[in-house]
Chain A
Amino acid sequence: MRGLASRRPPPIRWIAPAILLALLAPLQGCGDRGPEPAPAERRVSTQAATVDESRAPAGELVDQPGAPSPGEWTLPGRDYAGTRYSPLDQITTRNAGDLRVAWTFSTGIPRGHEGQPLVVNNTMYLVSPHPNIVYAIDLRNPGGPLKWKYHPPTDPAARGVACCDVVNRGASYADGKIVFNRLDNVTVALDAESGKVDWETKLGDISRGETMTMAPLVVDGRVFVGNSGGEMGVRGWLTALDLGSGKVLWQAYNSGPDKDVLIGPRFKPYYDWLKGEDLGVKSWPPDQWKRGGSTVWGWVTYDPELDLLFYGTANPGVWNPDMRPGDNLWSTAVFARDPATGEAIWASVTTPHDEWDYDNINEHIPVDLVIDGKPRKALLQFGRTGFVYLYDRATGQLLSAPMYQHTNWATGIDMKTARPMEVPEKKTHEGVNVTNICPASTGARDQQPAAYSFRTRLFYSPGTNLCMDYKAGRTAYIAGTPYLGAEVVMYAGPGGHRGEFFAWDPVAGKKVWAIPERFPVWTGALVTAGDVAFYGTMDGWVKAVDARTGAVLWKFKAGSGLIGNFMTYLGPDGKQYVAVYAGVGGWAGAVALGLSPEDPTGALGFVNAMKDLPDYTAPGNTLYVFALP
């Protein structure tokens, strides 16, 4: 079907209603995806900067609450929903093959580069891995000279408690400030013009094994920050800071009594087993909730219409499940919270009494879909578990949970309770080596985020195809050291390819196309109005693909493997640029940072699955920026 691929101009008599339709409703993709949704009221983005009409992309502007002007990128996922969709369309399926490097920049820190740069007011902002140097690049001048650089006094000892390389997942920009997290638990706001520190707020302590790696989200003058340390027996939380002063507005823990978890009269979980008092205490052995993991090291998203924040929580602390009988709430959960007060509005849990380290911190993307003929305010997440969770984001009802990768620890999700239907042979226990569990603890996908196209109505996601052996054992809690109690070894899943990049139809609940890769795909996706999707591989290939067909349009071999997230922007010259870091590392790439391949348990078992990675790539630290000639 040609659909939008057709470039013939429409007959004159259709133009007026076509423009009206374009203004009132999202553009239809190929094929019949069901009845058109009722035209939505056109909401103006509250953060929209002045749009330069001469540079506005052809075609309609999709409503992306929280997004800046089309050529800028001010939040980690571009908009509040984290769609990572760009309205820029100079780069298309026809000309993407002509892309070439426009310029590069080295951060100087040869560790894993996750996250994405920001572009606002013709300035690009980068945050490096620890020690988290922030660079501001002046895009108006040839070669992109530095406008300023901020090298914070980040504690070197923080590297010793960071589980999965010393990555940073990026900053947010709002009200003239660049806000980011230091690995040593300090949230920092810099003046975007001068690079001077506006405020710093210390929220955690490395002596408790805490670190911070996530990208803060800023909404309406509030900064939302989460901690890391689920492998260190840390107790996880989401904290709101005032953007102006850095003062703590509220803090919601994800385990413990309701008063700490900010569960009160407004909390209305959809499922009965989640209703009750102090479940965050009762679902643990005494006091074990204090080391309950459930950290917030992934992505926070927001729906301004329902005024709800969405985020997921990590694994329940110690990896030996026999040391924590009970459902271990609120680990591996998804929360919807009121951004003003932090009060929990609803929650659901993906692996109660998790036995596989299936953190639930992957991004939850709010998207309006038509399901069974009904328009739904949905929320979609690619779970570590191997299932795609599609919720009603107003109520927390799970609408569907199809499998998207080879999965054998559960046969499916019980739609009456949202609980998994577990396979007894794959449950892990102390002293037992359970073999061939799929997916491995990295999940069918980890934090590396997907993108959603309003044009194709498809999601574009990185994926991982690994299985594991998991042997739990007794361990002691020593603050500041790992609290694991499990020996894990990972290896390739069925098919032998360890990763893939795929397009997912959220309504049909299936993949539309998939590109297998040798290594896990660990980059965050980007999709544009030019119908081009971007991803990269851990052995260093940057790829542009046709968003409709999955055909690879262009590829480029970068200096190091890629684990960062793509973004795109308009330069001062009015041209579209695509940027991504190339610097291998992270949890998946740890072996390339000098670990010994003969110990298969290294990097929580990842070393065994990636022994050959150093044959393909070495550490790097370069930002690549691509453009058409």
Chain B
Amino acid sequence: MSSRFPERLGLAAAVGLAIALAGCTRGAQGGEGGVPGGGLTRGEQSDTVPGVQPGIVPEVVLGHVSNPYADDAGAIATGRQLFVGFNCSGCHAAYGGGGMGPSLRDSLWIYGKRDAQIFSSIAEGRAYGMPAWGARLPDELIWRLVAYVKSLGTEAEPEKPPRHAADKVMKAPKPRRAEG
């Protein structure tokens, strides 16, 4: 991202450029990330910068990337095999519920839930210990893993976690006292 702002530009120029770019890209974002209401055209004076919205990643940043295997049942099944074969299940548990690594079944996506963000997590790794698989796995395999991870907890999940017999937590028996 720093390449958009040549270092020699002063701060004011950088801000002006950001405003101009926000105006240029607004149309391409559609309903996501666009600034509602007034936009600014090149040359207009303003002292505000269009907002950035935490949690929303503009398409222009993601490079319009999406999973070629989204909703592909065959790819999801392969993704399951990769998940086990590459020991993902060792850290994230046999059905992605988590252990050493976080749960992949819940609604909290620490690094974002977009396909491209999940791809990034797998390919580039993450600071708190997710290894970077991008040098070992070609993109086509990583995308299948993405498809499998997205299927967890949905109808598309190929091997659903077994239901284990509910534990009967009985009333605790009376404590055993010392004799004598």
Contacts and interface: CB of A to CB of B under 8 A. Distances in A.
Contacts of B39: none
Contact of A599 (B96, B101, B102, B127): B96
A482 interface: yes
A595 B93 contact: yes
B-side interface mostly: loop
Interface stretch (A80-88, A394-402, A515-523): A515-523
29 contacts: A1-B180, A30-B180, A156-B128, A158-B129, A160-B130, A160-B131, A161-B100, A162-B129, A481-B131, A482-B87, A495-B170, A496-B167, A496-B168, A512-B178, A513-B178, A514-B175, A515-B175, A516-B175, A550-B178, A590-B98, A595-B98, A595-B103, A596-B96, A598-B97, A598-B153, A599-B93, A601-B94, A601-B95, A603-B93
Interface of B: 85-87, 90-91, 93-103, 105-106, 108, 127-131, 153, 161-162, 164-165, 167-173, 175-180
A491 interface: yes
Given A160-B129, A483-B87, A512-B179, 16 more contacts: A160-B128, A206-B129, A491-B165, A495-B173, A497-B172, A516-B175, A595-B99, A595-B103, A596-B97, A597-B97, A598-B153, A599-B94, A599-B161, A607-B98, A608-B164, A609-B167
A608 B97 CA distance: 11
A245 interface: no
A44 B58 CA distance: 72
Given A596-B97, A602-B93, A609-B167, A157 B177 contact: no
B91 A496 contact: no
B170 to A, nearest CB: 3
Nearest to A206: B129
Contacts of A491: 164-165, 167
A516 B169 CA distance: 12
Interface string A470-482: 0000011010111
Name the residue among A231, A487, A598 with the largest chain B CB count within 10 angstroms. A598
Interface in A495-513: 495-498, 503, 511-513
Nearest to A481: B87
Given A482-B91, A550-B175, A489 B164 contact: yes
B93 to A, nearest CB: 4
Interface string A91-102: 000000000000
Contacts of B105: 596, 598-599
B172 A496 contact: yes
A31 B180 contact: yes
Interface string A545-587: 0001111000000000000000000000000000000000000
A149 B170 CA distance: 45
A603 B98 contact: yes
B100 A160 contact: yes
Contact of B169 (A492, A514, A607): A492
A410 interface: no
A625 B94 CA distance: 40
A604 interface: yes
Contacts of A489: 162, 164
Contact of A594 (B85, B103, B167): B103
A600 interface: yes
B87 A496 contact: no
A28 to B, nearest CB: 15
A517 B172 contact: yes
Given A481-B131, A594-B102, A476 B87 contact: yes
Give the interface centre of B131, B169, B178 by most chain A CB atoms within 10 Å: B178
Contacts of B180: 1, 30-31
A47 B159 CA distance: 59
Contacts of A604: 99
Contacts of B161: 598-601
A505 to B, nearest CB: 10
Given A157-B129, A482-B100, A612 B86 contact: no
A159 B128 contact: yes
Nearest to B99: A603
A484 interface: yes
Main secondary structure on A side of the interface with B? loop
Nearest to A482: B90
Contact of A480 (B95, B108, B131, B165): B131
A512 B173 CA distance: 16
B90 A484 contact: yes
B11 to A, nearest CB: 32
B169 A483 contact: no
A163 interface: yes
Interface string A163-180: 110000000000000000
B87 A513 contact: no
B28 to A, nearest CB: 36
B92 to A, nearest CB: 9
A600 B162 contact: yes
B179 A607 contact: no
Nearest to B162: A600
A496 B103 CA distance: 27
**Closest CB pairs A-B (n = 8):** A160-B129, A599-B97, A482-B90, A496-B170, A602-B97, A481-B87, A595-B98, A596-B97
A512 B176 CA distance: 8
Given A481-B131, A491-B164, A163 B100 contact: yes
Contacts of B87: 475-476, 478, 481-484
Contacts of A511: 176
A612 B170 CA distance: 13
A409 B171 CA distance: 26
Contacts of A484: 87, 90
B97 A156 contact: no
Given A481-B86, A512-B179, A601-B95, A492 B167 contact: yes
Given A492-B168, A497-B170, A608-B164, A513 B177 contact: yes
Contacts of A495: 170, 173
B97 A601 contact: yes
A30 B180 CA distance: 9
Nearest to A497: B172
Nearest to A433: B162
A595 to B, nearest CB: 4
Contacts of A206: 129
Nearest to B169: A496
B173 A497 contact: yes
A31 B178 CA distance: 12
A163 B100 CA distance: 5
Nearest to A492: B167
